[in-house]
Chains A and B, each alone.
Chain A
């Protein structure tokens, strides 16, 4: 890990040697080590079933890893959550869209951590909720039941909740699934603004096309962290084919100019190489 000099109001995520085994004995993630640099947008890239959601859930404390720790700016996840440092924007299919609740009420839930135990919103809470809605362009839909929104509006509603929570660290799980190009662009613009304000943003996605347009850094994941670093150095064709194809080391040292798609089929008996090695061999796409 590199030593970083952080401004005091930015928060990095340190993932320290995490392994997660599910109850069906499937090893979802092993020995995952990475550091999400504070004040950056970091893309978490990997195939479906590669452990992206598992890593997210470990970072958010939704599941406890069988080994390893996560720290936010040196503080445990639990402490960070109590301090309202961490906001989470869920995948669309994790939400019950038929729930009898309005957009406004969902965004207000972002403020619960600041309220007393009866959760009675103050004037400030209401103001921040309205501002958050304004910022994502959802003010006019605030009284809609959440199921009455389009895919992009749904995303923006939950993004507004994260804004209302004012978390320093924001995790977005597949934010561009089921979203049109225009909304994707506006979400990206918003994420870049948030980064410039000092937020640490981690985005999981399998949409490779947009990554280089907005991610400062990427983490490549398939069962473990395969490579991590700046987008320029790490988001290479070679690294991608390794991540998505699970190629054995031998084939990586040889020809490297094949398209990632050529290796999409999982090969048996594959092994992974360390991120440093991958970085060293990386070539630009």
Chain B
């Protein structure tokens, strides 16, 4: 019904497309919670994409599963268990990488799948009322008051840490050697960024689910990276794209009666594709027409 209305594109139709879901309490909740998650993920995503830690994000998100199960079994907040296991996985990855001759991607692959599999076993053996499907794919429409509070705490903490350490974290992403040369504690920065990553994943767990959370952590930052040459602007674009995707995705999921996390990520991917093709400087199509002038790899000075 809703798609037909949308296609008719009369002003009233659009109006009711937007307003109708707002009559429902769970929709309002889903809209603002997912937007909040969108902001948190978008901010961190700028650092993660610049640092090249996308795979690490994927690893942490999968590694939280046993933590969620254990937390439920012990009656603890799910976010606590998720954080401990998510962060624990990154420490384990760092340790195994330092102690063996394996390459990092192999270490990440081994550890996170191990954690994930262990979580699956636990989830099927420990009697609890966790819905595995909700952990995997998120359930923002049915989010409980308690889960919202946990999401807000984890997200608020993430934003606060990044806000206070944003310059140092950016320096750490850009030039860790220089950070070291001016006497900063790069080890601390490394673990700060990792714990913020784990916190963000905890934040996004209810909205996107562990399978799609990596998209929320990578896609907005990547989209913004194609659109800007300055970090501040990249941050703004990333947040804008992310929130817009979260809002429109949630609406879409209501009207189509489809997976919310799925709709949000589809919207993000759509924005990314548009940026990839038509970005003013680095778009594929744009470069074709401009004769490849702005190409990142082939940049040469005009002066």
Contact = CB atoms under 8 A, between A and B. Distances in A.
Nearest to A81: B183
B234 interface: yes
A253 interface: no
Interface string A152-194: 0100000001000100000000000000000000000000000
A112 B171 contact: yes
Interface in B56-86: none
B230 A100 contact: yes
Interface stretch (B127-135, B173-181, B202-210, B245-253): B173-181
A113 B184 contact: yes
B303 interface: yes
B183 A101 contact: no
B25 interface: no
Given A99-B50, A141-B303, A81 B181 contact: yes
B231 A112 contact: no
A60 B168 CA distance: 19
Interface in A34-87: 60-62, 78, 81-84, 86-87
B229 interface: yes
Given A109-B178, A148-B301, A101 B230 contact: yes
Interface stretch (A4-12, A90-98, A126-134, A216-224): A90-98
A115 to B, nearest CB: 8
B231 A100 contact: yes
B101 interface: yes
A145 B46 CA distance: 17
B225 interface: yes
A5 to B, nearest CB: 28
Contacts of B125: none
Contacts of B50: 96, 99-100
A132 to B, nearest CB: 15
A23 B183 CA distance: 25
A192 B184 CA distance: 29
B228 interface: yes
Interface string B169-204: 011011101111111100000000000000000000
B168 to A, nearest CB: 7
Contacts of A150: 300-301, 303
Contacts of A251: none
A81 B180 contact: yes
Interface string B15-26: 000000000000
Nearest to B46: A100
Given A112-B168, A118-B164, A100 B182 contact: no
Interface string B222-257: 000100111101100000000000000000000000
Contacts of B180: 60-62, 81
B230 A102 contact: yes
Contacts of A97: 299
B163 to A, nearest CB: 9
Nearest to B177: A62
Contact of A101 (B164, B174, B225, B299): B174
Contacts of B164: 117-118
Given A100-B230, A112-B167, A148-B299, A88 B183 contact: no
B296 to A, nearest CB: 5
A86 B181 contact: yes
Given A100-B228, A100-B229, A84 B183 contact: yes
Contacts of B170: 101
A145 B230 contact: yes
A119 B167 contact: yes
Closest 6 CB pairs of A and B: A113-B182, A119-B167, A82-B183, A81-B183, A145-B229, A150-B301
11 contacts: A81-B182, A88-B178, A94-B177, A95-B175, A96-B50, A112-B168, A118-B164, A147-B299, A148-B301, A148-B302, A150-B300
